[in-house]
Chain A
């Protein structure tokens, strides 16, 4: 059921600015139906994109997205918004590059300014082995037509003049992998854009709706769950809903959801922290990542510096900031940019990440009929939102695993065909 959508434009902005008129709500609220064709658990970028592409590309609109909190309250509203496609494996490169293409067209497709800034992405090498991995990545990237190359310290200095590229630092910069199409995007706008567009096509978005259990029958466990069975619906805090297809898009919480059907995942949940400084004059034109120093930084359009690192070493579902993180972060950032020593941190926060052993996602069908997963997004899943939605929707609609995600199947953990992406995803999100 299509509703007419309020179209955003420069003219509307001017009108609302002059009249101080209210903007219409971005999406509607609906009654919870007793059944849907597809239930998607998790209202982050992955769940919302899957719902949108189901409706837009396949005409499947009897779909509900359920979130226990608010849309974008998970990793999708907490990430540092870096997008790039200079991965290490051919499968990874093809997949993430399709996402960049979709991001590039998104503002137009969703009629919302997502502020995509393709400002270039630098991954610094401070050791010979890191430099070797950069060369490896550059060659894999070039073969697939991705703009990606290794540059020397003097060229690094040209791209990011504030970096200390001298040789008398503790970890001198030996070179960098330079990826001009990478950049940052406004993550909230992406979430809202997909939510608004999906709602407009008839998808129901239910916030404050927590999945407490998944109803199954025929499985090998005594309660009907486990391999060989099939899903029949979900139990929520607002009642039971039946559905033949249930999709797990809950990232950091995905093991808890999969445990409800008896599908084991190769996932552990770790917090990832980030921090932002007070705004200052813009001086950092690119995104800068340093694997050896476990830190990355970019500057927002408002002038704040956004920092991130690698995940906290202890797995936990408790989301809080730690002093260890801030201390280590400050030390490492100053190693790269001594000039920002006087800047003050404004905020620090954390989100949950679903880490897999090979730093690649787990996507597609499982041993329980009707239960699909789109999980294992670790610290790098924001950039994958659009392509994941597109391929998961295709997989659901056609009943066949979309080509781009075939190597991310769950069986690889019993066959041993892992997709080792650590060299490109451990720190540089």
Chain B
């Protein structure tokens, strides 16, 4: 079980939350091309190391927050 620290609700089982994947920079809507939008939507680094990622506290406070997780070991370190 992966225990994820929600800033509001404290440590929770990952199955109570939703993993929204690695943080990807959002293109500027004013001048982004279609290709840039699609890259933002689909392309991922998918590293096997420390990754900054977004979680959604699905069954608790319903807030989004980011943490760092090592995707090779599932260790988590502070926000």
Per-position 1/0 for A299-332, Cβ under 8 A of B: 0000000000000011111100011100000000
Other-chain residue from B19, B38, B47, B71 in contact with A259 (beta carbon distance below 8 A): B47
**A63 in the interface, Cβ–Cβ < 8 Å?**
no
CB neighbors of B among A310-362 (8 A): 313-318, 322-324, 357
Tell me the bound Cα distance from A316 to B41 in angstroms.
19
Minimum CB–CB distance for B35 against chain A, Å: 5
B71 touches A318 (CB 8 A): yes
Minimum CB–CB distance for A234 against chain B, Å: 18
Per-position 1/0 for B26-64, Cβ under 8 A of A: 000000001100110111111110000000000000000
Other-chain residue from B1, B21, B41, B48 in contact with A323 (beta carbon distance below 8 A): B1
Size of chain A's interface in residues, with CB distance under 8 A? 23
Minimum CB–CB distance for B33 against chain A, Å: 10
A256 touches B48 (CB 8 A): yes
A255 touches B45 (CB 8 A): yes
Minimum CB–CB distance for B59 against chain A, Å: 13
Note all chain B residues with C-beta closer than 8 A to A145: none
Q: A322-B1, A413-B42 are in contact. Are A316 and B74 (CB under 8 A)?
A: yes
A314 touches B38 (CB 8 A): no
A268 touches B39 (CB 8 A): no
**A414 in the interface, Cβ–Cβ < 8 Å?**
yes
Per-position 1/0 for A250-269, Cβ under 8 A of B: 00010110010000111111
Tell me the bound Cα distance from A335 to B40 in angstroms.
40
B43 touches A264 (CB 8 A): yes
Other-chain residue from B15, B38, B43, B72 in contact with A265 (beta carbon distance below 8 A): B43
Note all chain B residues with C-beta closer than 8 A to A357: 41-42
Note all chain B residues with C-beta closer than 8 A to A323: 1
Tell me the bound Cα distance from A259 to B41 in angstroms.
18
B38 touches A416 (CB 8 A): yes
Note all chain B residues with C-beta closer than 8 A to A322: 1
Minimum CB–CB distance for B27 against chain A, Å: 13
Note all chain A residues with C-beta closer than 8 A to B46: 255-256, 265, 267-269, 315
A316 touches B15 (CB 8 A): no
Q: A314-B19, A318-B73 are in contact. Are A324 and B48 (CB under 8 A)?
A: no
Q: A314-B2, A316-B74 are in contact. Are A266 and B44 (CB under 8 A)?
A: yes
Tell me the bound Cα distance from A320 to B21 in angstroms.
20
**B77 in the interface, Cβ–Cβ < 8 Å?**
no
B72 touches A318 (CB 8 A): yes
Candidate in B1, B41, B48, B74 with the most chain A CB atoms within 10 angstroms = B48
Note all chain B residues with C-beta closer than 8 A to A318: 71-74
B39 touches A313 (CB 8 A): no
Of chain B, the residue at the smallest CB distance from A313 is B19
A267 touches B71 (CB 8 A): no
Tell me the bound Cα distance from A256 to B72 in angstroms.
12
Tell me the bound Cα distance from A323 to B44 in angstroms.
29
Tell me the bound Cα distance from A416 to B36 in angstroms.
12
Minimum CB–CB distance for A420 against chain B, Å: 13
A266 touches B42 (CB 8 A): yes
Note all chain B residues with C-beta closer than 8 A to A413: 38-39, 42-43
Tell me the bound Cα distance from A314 to B48 in angstroms.
13
Note all chain B residues with C-beta closer than 8 A to A256: 46-48
Tell me the bound Cα distance from A413 to B41 in angstroms.
9
Minimum CB–CB distance for B3 against chain A, Å: 12
Tell me the bound Cα distance from A89 to B14 in angstroms.
34
Tell me the bound Cα distance from A258 to B17 in angstroms.
30
Other-chain residue from B34, B42, B45, B71 in contact with A316 (beta carbon distance below 8 A): B71
Note all chain A residues with C-beta closer than 8 A to B18: 313
A324 touches B47 (CB 8 A): no
A324 touches B15 (CB 8 A): yes
Minimum CB–CB distance for B49 against chain A, Å: 9
Tell me the bound Cα distance from A52 to B18 in angstroms.
42
Minimum CB–CB distance for A260 against chain B, Å: 12
Which residues in B have some Cβ–Cβ distance to A below 8 Å? Answer: 1-2, 14-15, 18-19, 21, 34-35, 38-39, 41-48, 71-74
Which residues in A have some Cβ–Cβ distance to B below 8 Å? Answer: 253, 255-256, 259, 264-269, 313-318, 322-324, 357, 413-414, 416
3 closest A-B pairs (Cβ-Cβ)?
A255-B46, A266-B42, A264-B43
21 A-B pairs with CB atoms under 8 Å apart are A256-B46, A256-B47, A256-B48, A264-B43, A264-B44, A267-B46, A269-B48, A269-B71, A314-B2, A315-B21, A315-B46, A316-B71, A316-B74, A317-B71, A318-B71, A324-B15, A357-B42, A413-B38, A413-B42, A413-B43, A414-B39
Given contacts A314-B19, A316-B74, A414-B35, 4 further A-B contacts (CB under 8 A): A267-B44, A313-B15, A315-B19, A315-B21
